[in-house]
Structure 1
Amino acid sequence: MTESAHLWTVEEATDNAYEVFLELAPDNLSEQDIIYFNMHREAAGFAEDNVPDDSWSEFVEFEIEPELYLQVIIGLEFDDQDIEYARMLISLEKDAPFCHIIWKA
């Protein structure tokens, strides 16, 4: 991925996604999910970034250019299972902010 003055780095975009997650989680997750996430996020929390997968075409009405978007999954990782709280599509363009979130059901 080419870095540019007009693009967030992957690390910056992941950090931005995590901040958005923390801000919006109380309105989109159950109180139990929030409590459980907060209890375990220091030891088991993760924010995994990768290239957006094809499933996003179901949720957004534009072609996703992999060099301009990042998929970030936020959750908890345990030995026996992972809990995914949010899957996010976030723009890397500083001048064109965009974020779409699929929340844990």
Structure 2
Amino acid sequence: MIDLKGALAALEGDRELLQDCLVLLMEDLPLRFEEMRACLAAADLNQVGRIAHTVKGSVAVVGAVSLKKAAIDLEAACEKGQVLEARERFADLWRQWEELCRFLNEENFI
């Protein structure tokens, strides 16, 4: 679920910083998802794509590989103007987020 080795390498081995980043992610991403839901309802793919791009960068820092891939796929659908595809990719992103949350809680990361 998380590439711990890669995340620690990116953060120069600082486990405390990784945990701080995960806490921030847990606080911030639900807000981003709500924004994306509203924008998808309005078919505002430009804004959804921008938010997906931000999410991609945020989750990359903590090594959340599956979540990053889902954000990349959502961003690509938005760039192509594919509303239905974007909605499906958002559902995938949401599932990956739920899996990450379960993993973090089970592993007591945060």
Shorter-chain TM-score: what band? under 0.3
Structure-2-length-normalised TM-score? 0.27
Tell me which protein shows more helix as a share of its residues.
2
Tell me which protein shows more strand as a share of its residues.
1
